Structure 1
Amino acid sequence: MLRRFDTATRTPDDLRDLVRAIHANDDASLAVLRPLLTQARPGARWVEDELEGGALPAGEWWLVDAVEGNVNHVHGLAEWGVSATLIRDNAPVLTAIYEPVAQRLHSALRGGGAAWLNGVPMRASTKTELRAAIVATGQAKPGESEATWRRLGVSITAMLRAALVVRATVPATFQLAQVAAGQIDGFWQYSNVRSGQAAGALLVAEAGGIVTDLRGEPWTLASDDFLACAPGIHGEFVDALREVA
């Protein structure tokens, strides 16, 4: 993917060409990823669409985003990578997210007691006030419903009132890695896209953060929305978004 990447690239002129470029990137990456991951866990099944959501049948599954932040790659932006998460009985148990341009490898093992950045343990923020926090959100995927877009807009307004700084960008996985590292204090999303959320949920949980839905209930692959943040601001975070219907 680095060989295919060019910061001076001329971006596609229309949506059809953009989608074609994204699919070409996916195909090139999967040609390398799929044989390696199949060899690593021969019994694990494969999630075909990284933009799908919801619970999976029991057993092991590889949940892969062949080019995380693919739209950034196509536009010559550096925020892209490759992620692979092993799901066992609907819980993420192992994840690795690599950002080639920045040479950052994030990883975590369920129950390992830490998340790692290039072999160095990460810890979630110790922030205790939402008004002092940097928080983030973003689109989960193109073509969301009007209701989801409206909730996203209303929630950004609510967080602009409650937090210090609000960011909105993609991909979600990288922002969740920053939550795990304590560089930002929380991330929320009104959607269910397994690939980015599952990888990030494991990183944040193992780094000492909290992962729930937006009502404060434990997050699962079947949850309709998502929140990951520093423990000290979780209650305020839920309260700030409580009225977003």
Structure 2
Amino acid sequence: MTKEDIAFCKALIIHAAEHILPIFENQEREINLKNGISQFRNVNGTVTALIRPELAKRFPSVAWSEDEFNTSKQHNNKKKEYWVCDTIDGGIHFMQGFSPWCITLALVNQGETTFSIVYEPVRKELFHAIKNGGAFLNDASIVVGNKNNFNEAIIGSSHPNNLAEDIETTEKCMMTLKLLSKKVFAFRLMGPASLQLAYVAAGRLDGYIEHGDDIYDWLAGALIVTEAGGLVNSINGNKFSFGSLGIIASCSNIQAKLLLCH
């Protein structure tokens, strides 16, 4: 990725976000889930139509992953280079008219994320990272926090989108929160995983922990954490990669303690 390529991608994501901001701010709230999901899919399709063709023109050899909503296929890692885009991470927030939500983009090459963007349109904050090139917030370099005392830590997390359908993961999440409540200062469930990971990279959160297997939710933010000097593991403490179950990310001072809270 050249500087020009990076600038192009950032401008493209910002443009897509600005296009749907009026929908976020002015849409009527749906009173039933079925209509709400239909409305989300329409907006999701709009963002995809704004981003995908432009990336294809600029990077014709880079594929586009169709597996955003199919977690089993996400882990069947392709060898070729491809884009992973979450057009609205935090879709429930978006449809209900409250923040945060974001748009994410990650470039994956032979199983490794090499470039990523997390853009939060309401605050106009764009996080990005380049493998071995650092992490940035609105082009200013960022680093993870350096908190030493776990009992002073503020930890982020997320639960499954559909609590009733994914009971096992929901129960694991609740158990983790129960453990955390006895050991840290505070925890927050703020919705979009990618943005919470970016907040870890910027030192706003001291760590992030989530169960599940939706790796597309984590790729963009995980690179930003790593490039900001943080550590990222699977929920079991293994290297974070395709096939990982869950994610734990934090600064090096508290990662070992956070790994014990699942």
The answer for the alignment partner of 2:116 in structure 1 is 95
* Contact kept in structure 1, 2:156 and 2:188, CA below 8 Å: yes
The answer for the alignment partner of 2:9 in structure 1 is none
Deviation of 1:19 after TM superposition, in Å, equals 0.4
The answer for the alignment partner of 1:2 in structure 2 is 21
* Contact kept in structure 2, 1:140 and 1:189, CA below 8 Å: no
The answer on 1:197 being equivalent to 2:218 is: yes
Question: Residue 129 of structure 1: which of 149, 173, 180 is its match?
Answer: 149
Q: What TM-score does the superposition give when structure 1 sets the normalisation length? A: 0.93
What is the correspondence of 1:157-236 to structure 2 with a 5 Å cutoff? 157-236=178-257
Please give the secondary structure, in 1, of the residue aligned with 2:132.
coil
Q: CA RMSD in A?
A: 1.4
* Contact kept in structure 1, 2:94 and 2:101, CA below 8 Å: yes
The answer for the alignment partner of 2:260 in structure 1 is 239
Counterpart amino acid of residue 136 in structure 1: G
* Contact kept in structure 1, 2:84 and 2:108, CA below 8 Å: yes
| Greater Cα shift, 197-206 or 124-133 | 124-133
Deviation of 1:45 after TM superposition, in Å, equals 1.8
Counterpart amino acid of residue 2 in structure 1: L
* Contact kept in structure 1, 2:118 and 2:221, CA below 8 Å: no
Deviation of 1:141 after TM superposition, in Å, equals 3.4
The answer for the alignment partner of 2:13 in structure 1 is none
The answer for the alignment partner of 1:32 in structure 2 is 50
Contiguous gaps of at least 5 residues in structure 2: 1-19
Deviation of 1:142 after TM superposition, in Å, equals 2.7
Question: Residue 152 of structure 1: which of 166, 173, 182 is its match?
Answer: 173
Counterpart amino acid of residue 76 in structure 1: G
Kindly tell me the number of residue pairs found equivalent between the two proteins. Answer: 239
The answer for the alignment partner of 2:29 in structure 1 is 11
The answer on 1:23 being equivalent to 2:41 is: yes
1:171-197 Cα deviation digits (max 9, x unpaired): 101100100001110001111212220
* Contact kept in structure 2, 1:140 and 1:193, CA below 8 Å: no
> Measured at CA, do residues 228 and 140 of structure 1 come closer, stay the same or move farther in structure 2, by a change above 3 Å?
farther
Counterpart amino acid of residue 31 in structure 2: D
- Higher RCO (CA < 8 A, seq sep 6+): 1
Please give the secondary structure, in 1, of the residue aligned with 2:197.
helix
Counterpart amino acid of residue 191 in structure 1: G
Please give the secondary structure, in 2, of the residue aligned with 1:98.
strand
| Greater Cα shift, 114-123 or 191-200 | 191-200
| Greater Cα shift, 141-150 or 15-24 | 141-150
Q: Which structure carries more helix by proportion? A: 2
Please give the secondary structure, in 1, of the residue aligned with 2:235.
coil
Q: Distance in 1 between matches of 2:131 and 2:250?
A: 18
* Contact kept in structure 2, 1:130 and 1:163, CA below 8 Å: yes
Question: Residue 141 of structure 1: which of 161, 170, 173 is its match?
Answer: 161
Question: Residue 99 of structure 2: which of 78, 102, 114 is its match?
Answer: 78
Q: Distance in 1 between matches of 2:208 and 2:260?
A: 14
The answer on 1:69 being equivalent to 2:90 is: yes
Deviation of 1:9 after TM superposition, in Å, equals 4.2
| Greater Cα shift, 25-34 or 138-147 | 138-147
Show structure 1 runs of 4+ deviating over 3 A: none
Q: What TM-score does the superposition give when structure 2 sets the normalisation length? A: 0.87
Contiguous gaps of at least 5 residues in structure 1: none
* Contact kept in structure 1, 2:154 and 2:187, CA below 8 Å: yes
